[in-house]
A and B are shown apart, each in its own frame.
Chain A
Amino acid sequence: MTKANGPDSIMYMANVPTDLKYAKSHEWVRVNGDTATVGISDHAQHELTDVVFVELPALNRQVKAGEACAVVESVKTASDIYSPVSGQVTEVNKAVVDNPALVNTEPYGNGWFYKIKLGNPAELNGLLTPAQYTAEIGG
């Protein structure tokens, strides 16, 4: 993250894992049976830099796709996180609340936000494929 200034900071190649689905608003979804894990993309964490605070939805909350249900704050700004899918929140990542820097260091790993029981699995078809998301972020 804290690379020295130089050409590499303009040429940042965001990691876009091929086994995930993405929202235009930079959240990712990892599907496992009838449950999905949600986080924010490497591109998003790179744009935010230095995540200092994460606020997650309440356990068991029913969220709709596109609904703001979490907040991620960098030094400079607070950004809403929109749920890419509808359903009920079944688990939230306490580790990322305690250590918000995980969003920067492991956006697809320990920096995940919450798990959700899919209310409408068909919504997944409306999300971006890795190739579409890569194009979206100008990769």
Chain B
Amino acid sequence: MGLNEMLKRTPLFDAHQKLGGKLIEFGGWEMPVQYTSIMDEHLTVRKAAGIFDISHMGEVLVSGKGAEGFLNSVLTNDIRKINAGQGQYTLMCNERGGAIDDLYAYRLGEFDYLLIINASRITEDVAWLEKQLAASGGHDDVKLQNVSDETGAVAVQGPKVAEFIGQCFPGQSTGGRLFVGAAALKKNEVGQFNFNGQSVWVSRTGYTGEDGFEVVAPGETIEAVWNKILDAGQKFGLKPCGLGARDTLRTEVCYPLYGHELDEETTPIEAGVGFFVALDKGEFVGREVLAKQKADGVSKKCVAFKTADKCAPPRPHYAIWSAGAGAVPIGEVVSGTQSPSLGVGVGMGYVKPEFAKAQTPIEIEIRGKRFAAVVVPKPIYRKPD
């Protein structure tokens, strides 16, 4: 596979090569898909710990007294619900209610926010935010700063991570809200910590369905952060993990991936993330369409499914059919894989709403043949108690 010279590389590129990571193209970036194997890395995250390079993701700082009001006018979730030191999952929609991106918004201080956006959407998101800010007029003290190019990030995920994250960033938080240590962060909380004299942001968030942390640091610092975590996590079974495992982990817990479950023609209501749309907070871009969909229903719904027959793993774009006699096409798979945790084919797809109920039998067309599957509740994989 000849990788395009134009692909962007993260500050961890050399680290991936040193570790024998297998590199692929993802959203314009040259990223490791795996180091050992997707299966091995996936199961390591489920039972111990894994570290992922997520430096390709975008970071936008939004600051100023009007930042809260501005963000609430362009994002679907109610940003007033988070205090300094907290973050929330949210979406940004166009006037049609279609998703421009899904993102995490952190409130770092009273008037300072950090948006973590998808790598493939940085240009679109920043252009959209600038356009909305210019159009709004009323938020003129708001500053937008795209710091994606000079910022690195890693995700450290798995049940063992809380046991060693503290020693990577010793001491209490140095900015934002006061936390006695990184391990004291609760789900969705964020704090600034010291790392070798540099300020880094640590949050208790992730994209795997496991407990875990994400670290955002200056690009020139991220390799030292990566090495420190690899070292500290070694005796807990930590392994470097690639985008392959990141994708299978998020698929098992039904987290959307932009370009699969979400795009500009698909709304958060259709995608099944309506929980993060605060229709009651007042006006925001896309609200009218989203409110109407919530009241009147949608024409397609994102469902999770498991395959029932022994068959090849489901893959994006495979057709979904109704089951039984008189079967007709009812939709399309958007994410699919062999589930490393469950050992069966799993995925998500869009179907007509009448087929969206859990336990509805459906069929997945694979290379011209149809195989039995069943709609299941989200998430597909639940951690054993």
Contact = CB atoms under 8 A, between A and B. Distances in A.
Interface string B333-344: 000011010000
Given A1-B37, A5-B20, A74-B38, A53 B312 contact: yes
Contacts of A75: 37-39, 42, 244, 248, 313, 337-338, 340
Interface string B297-335: 000000000000001110100000000000000000000
A13 interface: no
Contacts of B34: 49, 76
Interface string B30-72: 0001111111101000000000000000000000000000000
Given A53-B338, A55-B312, A71-B312, A76 B38 contact: yes
B235 interface: no
A52 B37 CA distance: 12
A6 interface: yes
A101 to B, nearest CB: 10
A7 B20 contact: yes
Interface string A37-60: 000000000000110110100000
Which of B247, B311, B312: most chain A CB closer than 10 A? B312
Contact of A76 (B33, B36, B367): B33
B147 interface: no
Which of B37, B311, B313, B337: most chain A CB closer than 10 A? B37
A78 B312 contact: yes
Q: How large is the interface on A (under 10, 10 to 19, 20 to 34, 35 or more residues)?
A: 20 to 34
Q: How large is the interface on B (under 10, 10 to 19, 20 to 34, 35 or more residues)?
A: 20 to 34
A73 B338 CA distance: 9
A49 B34 CA distance: 10
B134 interface: no
B313 A52 contact: yes
A10 B20 CA distance: 5
A7 B35 CA distance: 11
B36 A3 contact: yes
Contacts of B37: 1-2, 49-50, 75
B19 interface: yes
Nearest to B248: A75
A74 B37 CA distance: 10
A9 interface: yes
Contacts of A6: 19-20
B35 A5 contact: yes
25 contacts: A2-B36, A2-B39, A3-B36, A5-B19, A5-B35, A5-B240, A6-B19, A10-B20, A49-B34, A49-B39, A50-B37, A50-B38, A50-B39, A52-B338, A53-B311, A53-B312, A53-B338, A71-B367, A73-B312, A75-B39, A76-B33, A76-B38, A76-B244, A76-B247, A76-B337
Given A9-B19, A53-B338, A76-B33, 6 more contacts: A2-B39, A5-B36, A49-B36, A50-B40, A76-B38, A76-B337
Query: What 10 A-B pairs have minimum CB-CB distances, sorted nearest first?
Result: A9-B20, A10-B20, A49-B37, A50-B39, A52-B338, A75-B38, A2-B40, A53-B312, A50-B37, A5-B35
